[in-house]
Amino acid sequence: MIRFIYKKFGIWKRVVKLGKKALFAAFFVVLVLISACGKVGKSSTTKTLEELRVGTEGLAMSFLPNNPPERIHVEKGADSELNRFDVVMEVRNKGAYPEFGEGSGFEPFGLHGKIYLGGYDPNILDFFEPKPPIEDLSRKTLEGKTSINPNGGLDFATFKGRVIAENLNVEKYEPVIQATACYEYQTTANPSVCIDPNPYSTIKEKKVCEVKDTALSNQGAPVAVTAVNEEAFATKTQFRITIKNVGNGDVLKPYVLGEDKCNPFGDSKLQREDVDKVYLINVKVSNKPLQCSPFVDGQVKSQSGFIKLIQNSEGSIICELPRNEYSSSKTAYITPLEIKLSYVYRTTIEKKIQIKREVTGVSSTDTGVSSGGASTSPSPSYEGQPLPSGETDICLEFDKTTNQCTRYAD
């Protein structure tokens, strides 16, 4: 019996030993798979900031389905709750600004800006929450695209409204609900440029780069740096920087928000000098700010100022890097050129709705609409009353007190 048990135990030890080997092999395979998945996930999801700075949009808005409804039926005298409706918009930041903590609003991801509703008669449509119908974007989660969230921040704007039926004196009213977003935004471009300390050297030498023009596409913003034309001189390197409005909205000066000039119901209105101007924050080479010109506000040469967009929504600025600001290198070298722009961008979306006035019951008013209560005056809505001759005809006015038709159709 003992031998039998030992034999069985010996077999079991071999089974356990084999099981341990198999378990170790399986564990090793799992580790390899996890490592491979980690590498694949990292390469497929992690993107650099430069890779995220693509596209020509900042904020994008869209009305949610049935908000507002395409058709609204209202009744005079009915409970005001029955004449209410909502306008709800999805707001997404499709650009690369702001990065975390660099927003212009109160929150780390916030943008300084607002959404306004307009396009309607405020005597007929009343938006009571918020009132006036202005949504502050600074408290929305509208961060720019990041490696963690490559789609950008998403939030919603809701406006609660009602139809003032007593002021609707037509059968059909078709306003256009227009939502306008005005918000501060920035564009950052970092093209590589060639700095050649000896552009006119007659000695043949191999250089790592040559001074040339650079074309750019977009930087994840509605205003883009589209070209950098470079020219080297004996005493300086010059950059002609071209910028363009590549979005579907309007470029405005940054201060228009503080002056409430985007508000369709405000007292201040946009002026010609507020439109098509971009503020140059700086242009740097190796963290050295460059002197640029011309600016539209009287500055001859400066590190920052306003650039006017003219033909084809384009504008340009010329910036210079003096030779004494070059690096210690005696030969040509490649370095990044940092360009930062600031502006207010305005976009709008629209939706046409139809408001139909409905008749509710009987009334003594000329319109024939009642509040639903009883009436002792003649009504124009009773038919089929017998004539004295015994025939049945249409009754135009019926007195409910005497239960008699007072006027028949001819």
Concatenated DSSP letters for 159-207? EEEEE-GGG--SSEE--EEEEEEEEEEEEEE--EEEE-S-TT--S----
CATH code at 176? 2.60.40.10
- Residue 408: per-residue pLDDT: 62
Domain match, 116 and 77 both: yes
- Residue 344: per-residue pLDDT: 97
- Residue 328: per-residue pLDDT: 82
Q: Which of 167, 203, 162, 147 is nearest to 69 (CA)?
A: 162
Domain match, 253 and 265 both: yes
| Residue 318 structural domain | 186-347
- How big is the chain, counted in residues? 410
Query: Does residue 369 lie in a domain region?
Result: no
- Residue 330: per-residue pLDDT: 86
CA distance linking residue 372 with residue 360, whole number of Å: 6
**Tokens representing 272?**
């010609």
Domain match, 228 and 336 both: yes
Domain match, 108 and 238 both: no
Query: Does residue 60 lie in a domain region?
Result: yes
Torsions phi, psi for 213 (to 5 deg): -80, 150
Domain match, 15 and 55 both: no
Query: Does residue 371 lie in a domain region?
Result: no
Query: Does residue 259 lie in a domain region?
Result: yes
**Tokens representing 236?**
């300086």
CA distance linking residue 213 with residue 24, whole number of Å: 59
SS3 at position 202: coil
pTM for the model: 0.74
Q: What is the CA angle 162-167-168, rounded to 5? A: 85
CA distance linking residue 59 with residue 152, whole number of Å: 10
Torsions phi, psi for 178 (to 5 deg): -115, 125
Query: Does residue 270 lie in a domain region?
Result: yes
Domain match, 93 and 165 both: yes
CA distance linking residue 127 with residue 143, whole number of Å: 28
- Residue 147: per-residue pLDDT: 87
Query: Does residue 332 lie in a domain region?
Result: yes
Domain match, 191 and 340 both: yes
Domain match, 230 and 311 both: yes
Query: Does residue 224 lie in a domain region?
Result: yes
CA distance linking residue 245 with residue 226, whole number of Å: 10
- Residue 204: per-residue pLDDT: 79
CA distance linking residue 165 with residue 229, whole number of Å: 62
Domain count, the chain: 4
Mean pLDDT, 10 residues at a time, the chain of 410 residues:
43 44 44 43 53 90 96 83 92 90 55 94 94 93 90 95 91 95 96 92 84 93 97 94 97 92 90 95 95 87 94 94 88 95 97 88 37 38 48 59 63
Query: Does residue 363 lie in a domain region?
Result: no
